[in-house]
């Protein structure tokens, strides 16, 4: 049998044409960077709800909005958040810009707010200065559930006063934020006193942990000399008995610091804000003094949840950054973690997802009606009547179906005849009753029907 020779097909060079002149059509698709994420339209209802709650609270408690740049000098964070913290040592996005300046994508905003307070002479204003922000932060952390490399925070900072009522006002804002979203939370709280008190405590902590060295995990052994306060954060099971017997910082506070903390707790009792005294809570940023706290959901698997938010007092930060001494305190809440908690809570309690509520649906039939409908819809803009419409569905049946899905009370129908008569049909979706009304009277009739007068 003759050998069948495989003929090699002539290789065709496919020249793909790009819509951009001079650029070969791209074949590669791009993924979002690891640890980053798109906030998609299906998430919008949650994000809107959170933003409204945050903004309402800022107005009620009289915080003014501040917007600081995403990029800052690296040293701003090194001096505030601190060398030896995970954020500064491991997680900052640092690079050199075109002028050779070493800049960082902000890992948090408290340092930026303190910088802005100093740089804009805000100490000259009537104190306290109360500022709030909402925006993305960047930490090159190991991504996992609830931990991203770009994430949003809403934060409230009160600069220029030291008063337990300030600390409590910030905790109250955080507590009300979650209350408004229907999420049950509790506050974990501690006082880490002044740097001098902390130093005395750290000496005690170090000698206690040195005496238990052989029971500790590798990380904890390193922490003894590198960052002893972080010993209290260890989650490794073998280290827990050692941690439970560790000295507690509150026992190393002097009278003044203790009294300050007691006052904070008294206020919380009075406001019936649920809190848990947590002697091991020290926070992962260096600028704190006195009160520190974190907010945790009280649902889901106990112990499995990460903090939804955290904050505390930072009386020395402004001075440390070169400003006139100005005691301060603040709180920041994680938006992604809050959205995740809302979904989890809704699922556990069978609560339907929040949805955008429309008042009416505008249905049109035919080209001329479509054109006229656009005018009417635009005229009704600003009246407070929320109108849904879909110009890509042409049959009345499909549009009524869409209206039904949106659960609107009324549908306005505009056909060829109505365009000529300058009228519209209003259909009551519950009773099915229809009435013809003059287009000019539409706004007032709708307002009456929707009780907007």
Q: What is the binding site for ligand HAM (CB under 6 A)?
A: 108, 110, 139, 141, 146-148, 151, 153, 155, 157, 285, 307-312, 330-332, 334, 336-337
Per-residue tokens: 329: 């305190």
CA distances to 396, 403, 404, 409, 427 from 430, in Å: 17, 12, 10, 7, 9
Nearest distance from C-beta of residue 244 to ligand HAM, angstroms: 24
**Nearest residue (beta carbon) to ligand HAM:** 334
155 sits in the region (left: phi over 0; alpha: psi -120 to 50; else beta) called: beta
Which is nearer to ligand HAM, 130 or 427 (by Cβ)? 130
Which is nearer to ligand HAM, 252 or 288 (by Cβ)? 288
Nearest distance from C-beta of residue 239 to ligand HAM, angstroms: 22
Nearest distance from C-beta of residue 335 to ligand HAM, angstroms: 8
Nearest distance from C-beta of residue 285 to ligand HAM, angstroms: 6
Nearest distance from C-beta of residue 100 to ligand HAM, angstroms: 28
Alpha helix locations (H) across 356-421? 367-380, 396-405, 416-421
Which is nearer to ligand HAM, 159 or 273 (by Cβ)? 159
Which is nearer to ligand HAM, 190 or 439 (by Cβ)? 190
Nearest distance from C-beta of residue 158 to ligand HAM, angstroms: 9
| Phi and psi angles of residue 83, each rounded to the nearest 5 degrees, phi first | -65, 145
Per-residue tokens: 257: 């610091």
Whole-number Å distance between alpha carbons of 278 and 256: 20
Per-residue tokens: 213: 């060295």
Which is nearer to ligand HAM, 190 or 423 (by Cβ)? 190
Greatest pairwise CA separation for the chain in angstroms: 104
Alpha helix locations (H) across 13-151? 44-60, 74-80, 86, 110-119
DSSP per residue, 305-319: PPPSEEEEE-TTHHH
Which is nearer to ligand HAM, 287 or 410 (by Cβ)? 287
Strands 309-313 and 289-297, by their bridges, are: antiparallel
Which is nearer to ligand HAM, 108 or 315 (by Cβ)? 108
333 and 51 Cβ atoms separated by less than 8 Å: no
Q: Which residue has the tokens 């409204």?
A: 52
Which is nearer to ligand HAM, 153 or 227 (by Cβ)? 153
Which is nearer to ligand HAM, 138 or 252 (by Cβ)? 138
Nearest distance from C-beta of residue 181 to ligand HAM, angstroms: 14
54 and 85 Cβ atoms separated by less than 8 Å: no
Nearest distance from C-beta of residue 448 to ligand HAM, angstroms: 46
CA dihedral 358, 363, 367, 368 (to 10 degrees): -90
Interacting residues of 181 by C-beta distance below 8 A, sequence separation 6+: 49, 50, 53, 338, 342
Whole-number Å distance between alpha carbons of 52 and 58: 10
Which is nearer to ligand HAM, 317 or 403 (by Cβ)? 317
Strands 150-159 and 129-138, by their bridges, are: antiparallel
Which is nearer to ligand HAM, 295 or 369 (by Cβ)? 295
Per-residue tokens: 408: 């609107």
Nearest distance from C-beta of residue 133 to ligand HAM, angstroms: 10
Of 146, 248, 257, the residue nearest 194 (C-alpha): 257
Which is nearer to ligand HAM, 341 or 419 (by Cβ)? 341
Nearest distance from C-beta of residue 337 to ligand HAM, angstroms: 4
Number of H helices, E strands in the chain: 15, 16
Nearest distance from C-beta of residue 253 to ligand HAM, angstroms: 20
333 and 177 Cβ atoms separated by less than 8 Å: yes
Nearest distance from C-beta of residue 81 to ligand HAM, angstroms: 8
Q: How many CB atoms lie within 10 A of CB 424?
A: 27
């Amino acid at each position: 049998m003759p050998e069948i020779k495989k003929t090699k097909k002539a290789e065709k060079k496919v020249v793909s044409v790009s819509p951009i002149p001079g650029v070969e059509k791209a074949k590669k698709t791009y993924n979002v960077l690891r640890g980053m994420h798109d906030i998609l339209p299906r998430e919008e209802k949650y994000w809107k709800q959170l933003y409204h709650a945050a903004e309402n609270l800022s107005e009620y408690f009289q915080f003014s909005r501040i917007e600081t740049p995403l990029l800052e000098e690296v040293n701003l964070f090194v001096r505030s958040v601190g060398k030896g913290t995970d954020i500064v040592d491991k997680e900052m996005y640092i690079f050199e810009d075109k002028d050779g300046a070493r800049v960082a994508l902000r890992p948090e905003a408290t340092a930026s707010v303190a910088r802005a307070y100093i740089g804009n002479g805000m100490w000259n204003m009537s104190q306290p200065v109360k500022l709030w922000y909402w925006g993305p932060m960047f930490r090159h952390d190991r991504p996992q559930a609830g931990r991203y490399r770009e994430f949003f925070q809403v934060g409230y900072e009160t600069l220029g006063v030291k008063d337990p009522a300030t600390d409590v006002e910030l905790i109250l804002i955080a507590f009300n934020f979650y209350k408004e979203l229907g999420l049950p939370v509790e506050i974990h709280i501690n006082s880490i006193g002044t740097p001098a008190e902390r130093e005395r405590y750290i000496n005690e902590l170090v000698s206690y942990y040195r005496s238990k060295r052989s029971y500790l995990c590798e990380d904890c052994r390193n922490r003894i000399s590198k960052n002893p306060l972080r010993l209290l954060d260890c989650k490794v099971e073998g280290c827990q008995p050692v941690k439970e017997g560790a000295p507690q910082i509150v026992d190393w506070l002097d009278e003044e610091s203790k009294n300050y903390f007691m006052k904070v707790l008294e206020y919380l009792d009075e406001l019936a804000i649920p809190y848990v005294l947590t002697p091991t809570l020290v926070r992962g940023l260096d600028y704190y003094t006195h009160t520190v706290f974190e907010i945790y959901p009280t649902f889901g698997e106990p112990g499995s949840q990460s903090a939804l938010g955290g904050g505390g007092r930072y009386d020395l930060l402004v001075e440390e950054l070169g400003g006139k001494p100005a005691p301060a305190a603040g709180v920041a809440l994680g938006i992604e973690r809050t959205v995740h908690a809302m979904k989890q809570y809704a699922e556990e309690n069978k609560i339907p997802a929040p949805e955008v509520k429309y008042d009416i649906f505008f249905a049109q039939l035919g080209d001329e009606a479509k054109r006229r409908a656009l005018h009417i819809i635009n005229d009704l803009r600003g009246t407070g009547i929320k109108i849904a419409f879909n110009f890509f569905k042409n049959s009345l049946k499909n549009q009524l179906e869409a209206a039904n899905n949106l659960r609107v009370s009324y549908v306005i129908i505009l056909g060829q005849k109505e365009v000529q008569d300058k009228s519209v049909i209003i259909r009551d979706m519950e009773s099915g009753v229809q009435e013809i009304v003059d287009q000019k009277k539409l706004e007032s009739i709708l307002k009456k029907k929707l009780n907007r007068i």
